Structure 1
Amino acid sequence: MDTPQLIKVTIDGQEVNVPAGTSIMEAARQIGPDVAPPAMCYYKPLKGSGGKCRACLVKVTQGSEKDPRPMPKLVASCITMAQDGMKVENFTSPDVVEARKGVVEFLLLNHPLDCPVCDQAGECHLQDFAFEHGTEATRFEEDRRTYEPENIGDKIQLHMNRCVLCYRCVYTADQITNERVHGVMNRGDHAQISTYISKAIDNDFSGNMIDVCPVGALTDKTYRFKSRVWFSKPVDAHCACEKCSGKVNLWYKGDEVIRVTARKNIWGEVEEFICNTCRFERKNTSDWVIEGPTKVSRASVISANKYRANEIAKPKFALEYAKENFKKIDDSRPYEHNLAEVKESEDYKKLMEKNDAFFSKNKSLK
């Protein structure tokens, strides 16, 4: 078997060798999370995904070794193939950082503030994306786009108002089932995920659409409003299933299994999809072989109540935000506990004289 040709790519000053035909996104992921662009629609296990949300825009400052000209515009890293000698700027480019603020703003234009009641809160990619790349305020004053509630089955809840049209659920149903009955209807600002003639999604792997959804547009009805994700305890488990790999995460609240999900990698992607029998029907500990606690990132909100406070890692972007936006107070004045002594001090008397002089000139302010 021939060894694949390797090409050299530099991203944010870090070099990596990847096989020819690798996207910029996957090249960055080989370096690590500190370099990899965010993704809202790209999902490596799903063919054809990517290129819709523009969350992963990067700046190519050198096209390749043969053609060093930079690309004139920011490009989507998930669908742009890396070239030998290519140089890419991600978090180090002010243009990219500013562009992502715009992407977050567009995604939030019609997204409702459902975080307090949304089951996806705490593991929502849009929350992470907005916290890391968004701004504190919004300029949108018009009414948000809304959709009428639609029932798409007894196991899956559709909240179309929260949908960001990433198409992940459509690709999932299209590629791992043979009975897809839903898709994207209409066009433009009228586009929405819906079912053909309101048919229920009842195939054996339809529940995986819940796992791939980056927001709370598709949620598990059997888990709805039962617990916040940071109050539950995830463990790795498996069973001898005839339909799927049987490798899952069980989420406990006390001794009760409140939900079952497929296992996800560091990028939040399911690598082995599970069947609806494992997901919805096997809610007893006796149905599973427990392997041990699920490894949770200490920077994740899910790590709350799992580690000691001094061991929970603080997100890098939060520290950088604080560094840029909060100034250190340089106050060398002594703090006196005795108010009577303060009033007798020379500094206090001088301050009061300045105040009296100011108000005597500006009597209307007094």
Structure 2
Amino acid sequence: MVDNQVQLVKVTVDGIEVEVEPGTTILQAARKIGPEVAPPAMCYYEPLKGSGGKCRACLVRVAAGSAKDPRPMPKLVASCITPVQDGMVVENFSNPAVLEARKGIVEFLLINHPLDCPVCDQAGECDLQNFAFEHGAVQTRYEEERRTFEKTDIGPFIQLHMTRCILCYRCVYTADQITEKRVHGVLNRGDASEIGTYIEKAIDNDFSGNVIDVCPVGALTDKTYRFKNRVWFSKPVDAHRDCPTCSGKVSLWYRGSEVIRVTARKNEWNEVKEFICNTCRFDKKDTADWVIEGPTKISRASVISANKYPKNLTVSSFGARLAAAEYKPINDERDTSQLGIQQLPPERFAKTLPSAKE
């Protein structure tokens, strides 16, 4: 009898070991452990084949290539396209060089991205906003003029704000893989690259609205929802309907008793698993059209739930926890009199402390 069971490989990410199938990437292996060690991702989107390897937000250090060859990789690698090896040791939030590199990636992505979060509909559920908060620097060194574009309508329901685009290619892969005729893509090259349609052709296929869900920033927005409400003032609920075109599983976003928008359901990595049609997204905005399942599960650390970014819930805090766990106290019993420092006796030192009454 032939044993067809797949031999799993072991990989360690930030000191936590996990077993995965051969061919799994470092990012996928880290996600199996949980968000406390999973690298951020701006261009990678698991449901879309070929995505990843463009933004470099998921850079990690491979401290040991494998059990057979434990030598470290000389440079940081993109975890979304690097397959694991048996015995591989990966450093993510526990490595200062990785965190410093991510600051540079954030600065690079924000070179042309405008600071218009106060008027952007994506604020509160923006991947770039989250990435900049967790890994970015306070200041930027960029002084040159930013690229600017005029807003364009690329269909009856979608507006393109190219100034905010970070060229992650997610919308292009989405249109390629779930529609028959893609009419938009990346035009030009280098710093002149932009998302657009050929001769202002409109995107009018029945699944065009999904490019809004996959966009990590506010470059592709829903024209029927623009400036209607802030996401943290909305109440999302899971619902479904019998749809002949798609799965019909959606999230309804309420303002009071009014459905202000309909989106596809997303997982904990903010990725859509089942794409929905335009009929469900734009035409069915009445509660009577849906079967309500219950409130959508949202992380308490998210802006949608907390209405702010909590200071103690940043992803990079895992590195601080790891450093605290490996901290070794120093036994310093030197004679301070030789250093010119006057040391107070314990009873006198206690008198210098403020009392509870004070």
1:256 is matched by which residue type in structure 2?
E
Cα RMSD after superposing both structures: 2.4
Change (3 A) 1:56 1:322: closer
2:174 to 172, 182, 193: 172
2:130 is matched by which residue type in structure 1?
D
Q: Which residue of 1 aligns with 2:336?
A: none
Q: Which residue of 2 aligns with 1:51?
A: 53
SS at match of 2:117: coil
Q: Which residue of 2 aligns with 1:212?
A: 214
Change (3 A) 1:297 1:314: farther
- The TM-score, its normalising length taken from structure 2, stands at 0.87
SS at match of 1:116: helix
Contact 2:35 2:315 in 1 (8 A): no
Larger Rg: 1
Q: Which residue of 2 aligns with 1:29?
A: 31
C-alpha separation in 2, matches of 1:101 and 1:160: 23
Where structure 1 has 5 or more consecutive residues not aligned to the other structure, the ranges are 325-330, 338-366
CA-to-aligned-CA distance 1:169-204 (integer Å, 9 cap, x gap):
000000000011000000110000000111100001
SS at match of 2:27: helix
2:231 is matched by which residue type in structure 1?
V
Q: Which residue of 1 aligns with 2:313?
A: 315
Question: Per chain length, whose mean CA-contact separation is higher, i.e. which structure has more relative contact order (CA < 8 Å, sep 6+)?
Answer: 2
Q: Does 1:224 align with 2:226?
A: yes
CA-CA distance at 1:304 after TM superposition: 3.5
Give the 5 Å matches for 1:96-107: 96-107=98-109
SS at match of 2:196: strand
Give the 5 Å matches for 1:61-100: 61-100=63-102
Contact 1:157 1:220 in 2 (8 A): yes
C-alpha separation in 2, matches of 1:61 and 1:318: 19
Give the 5 Å matches for 1:12-27: 12-27=14-29
1:315 is matched by which residue type in structure 2?
L
Q: Tell me the number of residue pairs that the alignment of Structure 1 and Structure 2 aligns.
A: 326
1:135 is matched by which residue type in structure 2?
A
CA-CA distance at 1:151 after TM superposition: 2.1
Contact 2:8 2:20 in 1 (8 A): yes
C-alpha separation in 1, matches of 2:27 and 2:77: 11
Contact 1:61 1:71 in 2 (8 A): yes
1:224 is matched by which residue type in structure 2?
R
Change (3 A) 1:8 1:319: closer
CA-CA distance at 1:142 after TM superposition: 1.3
SS at match of 2:72: coil
CA-CA distance at 1:2 after TM superposition: 2.1
C-alpha separation in 1, matches of 2:353 and 2:199: 71
C-alpha separation in 1, matches of 2:32 and 2:318: 23
Change (3 A) 1:204 1:127: same
Q: Does 1:3 align with 2:5?
A: yes
1:285 is matched by which residue type in structure 2?
T
CA-CA distance at 1:314 after TM superposition: 4.7
Q: Which residue of 2 aligns with 1:348?
A: none
SS at match of 2:119: coil
C-alpha separation in 2, matches of 1:266 and 1:119: 20
C-alpha separation in 2, matches of 1:332 and 1:126: 46
Give the 5 Å matches for 1:1-366: 2-304=4-306, 314-317=312-315
C-alpha separation in 2, matches of 1:316 and 1:113: 21
Contact 1:299 1:314 in 2 (8 A): no
C-alpha separation in 1, matches of 2:170 and 2:316: 29
- The TM-score, its normalising length taken from structure 1, stands at 0.85
Contact 1:209 1:218 in 2 (8 A): yes
Contact 1:58 1:90 in 2 (8 A): yes
1:117 is matched by which residue type in structure 2?
V
SS at match of 1:83: coil
Displaced runs of 4+ in structure 1, greater than 3 A? 316-324, 331-334
C-alpha separation in 2, matches of 1:276 and 1:266: 24
Contact 1:35 1:90 in 2 (8 A): yes
